[in-house]
A and B are shown apart, each in its own frame.
Chain A
Amino acid sequence: MSEGRVAGLAQQGVSHAGRAKASARRDTMAELSPVLVEEETDPVETERARIRRERFERNWAWLEKHAADVYRHRGKIIAIAGQKLFVGDTTDEVLARAKAAYPEDDGLFTRIIPRERGPRIYAY
């Protein structure tokens, strides 16, 4: 797919979103620039991204395996790095500890564990 075609789709997508919602939302939409899509052609970057994702998936698999232990930290921020759990009250604090312990793990991630369980409606 050519870049022009993709960019065209981007423009089309944004304009459709604008039409789909009531005018009350129009200002919010307008204050952000349109999202542009670009196909990545650099094989080195693509390969690096693939490796990072693999590490991320390894950490995620660890989380799923230890879900009961991880998700009991209600209202906290967690990070998983090097397939280890880090818990704290702020993202900055948790990230700092996780990065210090596993500086080479670029597949680390953080998560917010909501205080409450139960059905959630995501609509922003």
Chain B
Amino acid sequence: MRIDGSWRLCDDGIVRPVVWGELRASDGSWVQAFFLTDCAADRTVLSENVWRGLGLPGVAATHRLEGVGGSAASVVVETQIRMAREAGQTVLFKGQFAAFTDPAALDISVLGRDITNMFALIVDRPQDVVCLLVEDISTRFYKDEILSVNLPTRYDSTTNLNEKRRRSQRTRAKLKKSC
């Protein structure tokens, strides 16, 4: 599976990596938003404007979300996020997501590792690529060179990384057994 993002100009003149998504609102409509791809974020977090747009009641979170600038109050909402994948198809992420209740806390929704951990995340400014790939499928895609038009060939190294990860998982499993 491949979800393409892009680099977009923000209000301060900085270009940031984002992925398009739409979120299911309380009335069944869909709210449009860009998500900042942030590999440092533990969770996906909605900005206040997106949360308000959904019209969904938020359950007060028992913990405040912490960032570099401090912590801020948040709520938890249950919704779906739709993203576009290759060949004009779409994929849904269903679950509970945190949302800030203060507009000053976050100006853009953040795509955190609750979602990005399912993918190989490519954020490459020189090559102008923002991309989420599911590993096994992406490896096969690389081999078939389906993605070679848009993705530099050096991403073939992902294959090696995936193999390393599998080996490390196997080692961990063996260690677990032996303990």
Contacts and interface: CB of A to CB of B under 8 A. Distances in A.
Given A111-B49, A111-B107, A121-B67, A40 B115 contact: no
A38 B13 CA distance: 36
B41 interface: yes
A116 to B, nearest CB: 9
A50 B118 CA distance: 24
Given A27-B63, A91-B52, A124-B110, A38 B92 contact: yes
A122 B117 contact: no
A85 interface: no
Given A17-B113, A36-B94, A117-B12, A28 B63 contact: yes
B110 A122 contact: yes
Interface string B67-102: 111000000101000101000111111111110000
Contacts of B29: 106
B63 A46 contact: no
A121 B68 contact: yes
A92 interface: yes
A73 B88 CA distance: 36
A101 interface: no
Interface in B1-57: 1, 8-9, 11-14, 20, 22, 29-33, 36, 38, 40-45, 47-50, 52-53
Interface residues of A, number: 60
B52 A123 contact: no
A124 B33 contact: no
A112 B107 contact: yes
B106 interface: yes
Contacts of A108: 32
B62 to A, nearest CB: 6
A114 B95 contact: no
Most buried by B among A21, A49, A90: A49
Given A56-B32, A108-B32, A123-B67, A32 B53 contact: no
Interface residues of B, number: 66
Contacts of B161: none
B88 A46 contact: yes
B146 interface: no
B7 to A, nearest CB: 12
Nearest to B63: A28
A104 interface: no
Contact of B20 (A28, A53, A71): A53
A83 B115 CA distance: 31
B129 interface: no
B67 A124 contact: yes
Contact of A16 (B14, B94, B117, B134): B117
Contact of B43 (A28, A90, A117): A28
6 closest Cβ contacts across the A-B interface?
Answer: A13-B117, A35-B95, A91-B52, A13-B118, A56-B32, A71-B11
